[in-house]
Every structure is written in C-alpha cells, then in structure tokens.
Amino acid sequence: MRYSDFSVNNIDLSVIGFPLWTLATSGWGAQDTDVSIYLLQQAFEQGINFFDTADSYGKGYGEELLREALSPARHEIVIATKFGYDFYSPQLDVDWDGKNFGPAYVVYACEQSLRRIGTDYLDMYFVHYPSYAEVENDDLYEALEKLVDAGKILNFGIATDDRPEASEIATLLAFERDLNLFHTPFSLLEQDLVDSFSQMDRNISVIARRVHSFGLLEESYDPLMFEQSKFSDQKNHPTFGNIIEMRPNYDFLFEDLEESISDVALRFAITNRNVVSTLPNITDIDNLSQYCLSADKPDLDNDLINLIIEVYREQKEHGNKNETE
C-alpha cells in the first residue's frame, strides 16, 4: 500500500480508504455484519488505514461497525465521520430536508459519534452536504473550533457534492474560512471541482469519492445491465445525465492499454496532487484486493493524464460528441 504525505496524528493516510456507505446504507444491499467486520479487518491487514463513514449511514450502524471491527487498532488508523442529517429528531427522516448544523447539535452529534465508535477523538469531522447559506454561519465554525480545542476532533472539513453551488461553497471556504480539507467527487468524468482547487493559491487536501462515477468506470460496467444495478437509483442525480452521456467518449483511451478502465480511473484520482486519499466502492474481498493492487502501481503517465483532461475539457466545452455527429 502506498501512503500520501498527508498526516493525521502522525499517521500518513493510505492512498485508498474504505468508505462504509457500501456496508451500512441500504442502496448496496444487505451485508452480513460478520462479513462486514471481516472486510474491514482485511482492509487493515492489506495496508488501508483510513476509514470513512457518517453518522447517518444506517443511523449510526457504520460507526458501530468500526468499533466492532477495528477498536484494537484505533491508534493505527484514521477515522473520518460526518454530521448534519438529524436522524435523532422523531419528526425528521434522513433526507435533504432533515439537516441540522446548529452549534448545540454539532456538539451533540459529535458526542454520539464518539460513543458509537468507542473513541475519545475523531481524526476528521466533516460537515455533511451543507448549502451555501449554511456554510456562511459563524456559529457552525465556532462550534467546530471548540471541539478541536477540547481534543474531540483533530481536523474538520466539508463534504460537498457536485451541485451547481459547490464551486462557490469551496471558494468561500478556502478564501474566507481558510478551510483546506474537502470531501468531494472526483473522477475522469467529474473533474471540475478538484480542478478549481488546483487553480487556488491554497494548500487544499481532497478526499476523493465516486472515483468510478456511479460504477460507469468499473470494469463490469454494461450499459444494458446498468438499469438493474445498484447505481440505477442515481438516474435522478442532478449531474448524472451529463456524466453518462460523456462515458462512451472515453472508450478509445483504453483500446491499446493493458490496464483496465477501473484501474486507470482509480490511479487518475490517486495521481492528482490535491488528492490525499480515495474512496472506491469496496463491496467484497475481490475488489478490495484489486484496488489495493492498483494503489501499488506507479503514477499514470503524464501523457495519459493530459489526454484524459483534454477529453474531459472538450466534452465540457463542446458537449457530447454523439449529439453532434
């Protein structure tokens, strides 16, 4: 396993982390608890030391899995969790309308996460999908700074999606809040936000998720089978239509390569200078091992990276080629 230069509590992050949404959320199918614990322990054995969850994943189940699987290794790993979806309030469900970033709730949610994980500190604590108006709130940052001062969190950042205002949110946070830790999508098919970080005169660190773009960049991707796949419910995602239209225009890149598209997609994210760790969708021992092997390979050739970026920019500028032919 390779490790980045980004260090938390004297631990350099593995370039691949384990995202617990695949084990603790309903969209991935039921996972037996013992199997989930085994996968997490195997990930640690294979060199992964970064584990990412959220309090809303299974209403705390993802955090409880970490306690069950990795408590003995607590001081050898980096744990990130997120807050903001208020599933504690009986009148609220975990959806886009049930968010709470009030200062009292921030402290309460942190205490609950600490209890479920069985630890007295969190390495990373992410604000989960805030709006522009919510990130302007001074009270939110004051609450987070108090948690840092109390030693309950070591770092905090923002988990943002690729909604239209994401770039504005990132710019505000980087320049006005001096925030430098972001949890965001990044892949061959989703480059805009991380590309904007490279243009900033800031030391931005990125945890890159959705590196295989809803499964469109996985080796098993089949357009005919996609409707029945675990990703099919993403069709209503605001950017999904553009992403799936772009996908065929990358096929030519892989015709003469020995590497798989899944391998190249993961290494493309790892190679980016702002990315300190990646979160591929780990669902079983086979793709866990596959991703770990990919992580040990050298960085992608600069010519291939530049070609991938060029293709992406052409698609963004001129639209999908299939629409103009």
- Is the alpha carbon torsion for 101, 104, 110, 115 positive or negative? negative
Comparison of pLDDT for 183 and 31, the residue scoring more: 183
Strand pairing category for 3-8 and 11-14: antiparallel
pLDDT for residue 97: 57
Q: Is residue 133 part of a domain?
A: yes
Distance CA 168, CA 156 (A): 19
pLDDT for residue 311: 86
The average confidence (pLDDT) of the chain is: 86
Q: Is residue 325 part of a domain?
A: no
- Check pLDDT > 50 for residue 228: no
CATH for 193: 3.20.20.100
- pLDDT band, very low/low/confident/very high, at 15 (cuts 50, 70, 90): very high
- The helix or strand, by DSSP H or E, that contains position 315, with its residue range, turns out to be helix 302-318
pLDDT digits (tens, 9 = 90+) for 279-294: 999 999 999 999 999 9
> pTM value?
0.89
Q: What is the mean pLDDT of residues 125-141?
A: 91
Distance CA 307, CA 292 (A): 25
C-alpha distances out from residue 21 to 2, 83, 178, 195, 202, Å: 23, 14, 29, 25, 30
The closest of 153, 149, 139 to 102, measured between CA atoms, is 139
Distance CA 93, CA 85 (A): 8
Q: Is residue 192 part of a domain?
A: yes
Are 206 and 190 within 8 A, CB to CB?
A: no
How many domains does one find in the chain? 1
Q: Is residue 306 part of a domain?
A: yes
Domain limits at 49? 3-320
- Check pLDDT > 90 for residue 320: no
User: What is the percent of the chain with per-residue pLDDT over 90, rounded to a whole number?
Assistant: 53
